[in-house]
Amino acid sequence: MTAHVIAYDTANPGDVSDFSRNLARFEPARIRKLALLVKTEGNSDVNDFSREFALLSLTAAIEAHGGKALAERSTFLISTGCEGAMTPFGYLFVDLEDAVGESAAAPSATAGQGRALAFGCARSRSLTPEEIGTPAHAVIVAETVEAAMRDAGVKADDVALVIVKTPVTSHIPATAGAVRNTRVTSAHSKAVGALGAGLALGEVPREKIVQEAFNTDHSLYAKRAMVFSGAELDCVEIMLLANRPGAAGDLSVHTGFLRDVLDAKGLRDMYTAAGCTFDADGQVAHAERVVATLIKAGSAPDGKVRGVRTTMKSSHLDMDKHVRAAMSGIIGSILGSTRTFISANTVHQAPPGGGLCACIVRKAS
């Protein structure tokens, strides 16, 4: 089994032409599973259906290539917001069965044979309205992360990054009975997802995951999770990236931490740890080796950056839009590319104002 990662561009949220060209490179019968991590230019408002449009179009393209069975083996993680110098695009992850005669280490191979990228996916059952936004929701996230680890054939120590998609509700259906909270916000749902992932990875104690902690006790946070929320699903979806002992392939995943939205050094440190070097202008040399970059950036509760006031919290624009736009310029100047997956709001995913970054790189030839 070998993991492949390919970036593809989109002309609009429903455009799958470049995606289909790349997917056509792989024989459907050899694809164990697919995962898609997509950035659309949607604005995340209540009447923004760009995610649904992208999901519908991608599902149809996958079914055209490999039938409904392949679509059922696919995980879709679609995020809105491409402010700043960020290209709307997607990453296609393919877990491929090795052809007869190809050399591939077994998942049970020892760590002495080296490590390579593996990814795992899992989906929970549908959550009830009463569960969404509660500690029970966090436990379901943890259980789904554990299922994704089993899917990838890895342990918690092998995991570099967990990507969580978690549901929100804009209304409470009649089945909710006496539920009092009539709305679970995106930030609250992300908080639940982050602490659930931290629980599965051994980073957050179970007894600390209580209703009062969500988006309040910011001393609690996962260290290897990026969380997104959406109203288009009623379950938890997980994709995790790991360096699995004995895995085949020439890709590896590396993570780093960001002090704030200006932390270019944190990004360079991540690339350096991944084996990259820099040219005289401070850009990544041989940038073609970097096949994916993911960033989860945050803003401090007071809206300040390095102690100085900004308008991120006082602007008429949503704070996440400021963060994505600012970070796109920082990473663009280092990577020399506009094709980077950037998301905002690091609630329980980093210390307040901090962030997380990850890259997938190809071994130097």
Q: Which of 26-35, 83-92, 209-218, 226-235 has the lowest mean pLDDT?
A: 226-235
Q: Is the pTM of this model over 0.95?
A: no
**Alpha-carbon gap, residue 194 to 222, rounded angstroms:** 6
- Environment class of 95 (CB within 10 Å of its CB; exposed 0-12, middle 13-18, buried 19+): buried
- Token pair of 19 as six digits: 């995606």
pLDDT (0 to 100) of residue 45: 78
Q: Is the pLDDT of residue 220 over 60?
A: yes
Question: Would you state the pLDDT for residue 224?
Answer: 97
Q: In this predicted model, which residue has the larger pLDDT, 337 or 106?
A: 337
pLDDT of amino acid 99: 66
The string of DSSP codes covering 33-44 is EEEEEEEE----
pLDDT confidence of 175, banded at 50, 70, 90? low
Type of residue found at 337: S
Q: Please, what is the average pLDDT of the chain?
A: 91
The residue-averaged pLDDT of 277-294 equals 96
* Structure confidence at residue 12 (pLDDT): 97
pLDDT at 172 (0 to 100): 53
The structural domains of the chain, ordered by start, are: 2-96 (3.30.1330.170), 111-241 (3.30.1330.180), 250-362 (3.30.1330.160)
Sheet strand arrangement including 237-245: 115-123, 237-245, 159-167, 225-230
Q: Confidence class of residue 104 from pLDDT cuts 50, 70 and 90?
A: very low
The sign one gets for the Cα dihedral 197, 200, 201, 203 is positive
Question: Nearest-CA neighbor of 242 among 351, 129, 141, 93?
Answer: 93
pLDDT, tens digit, for every residue of 127-164?
998 899 999 999 999 999 999 999 999 999 999 999 99
Mean pLDDT lowest for which of 64-78, 162-176, 205-219, 226-240?
162-176
- Contact by Cβ (8 Å): 154, 186: no
DSSP state of 100: T
Q: What is the pLDDT of residues 48-67, one digit of tens each?
A: 889 999 999 999 999 999 99
Nearest to 35 by CA among 279, 258, 294: 294
Q: Which two tokens stand for residue 274?
A: 């991944």
- What is the pLDDT, as a whole number, of residue 177? 56
pLDDT given at position 108: 36
In a 3-state reduction of DSSP, which class is residue 332? Answer: helix
Q: How far apart are CA 327 and CA 337, in angstroms?
A: 12
| Contacting residues for 50 by C-beta, under 8 A, at least 6 apart | 13, 40, 41, 42, 80
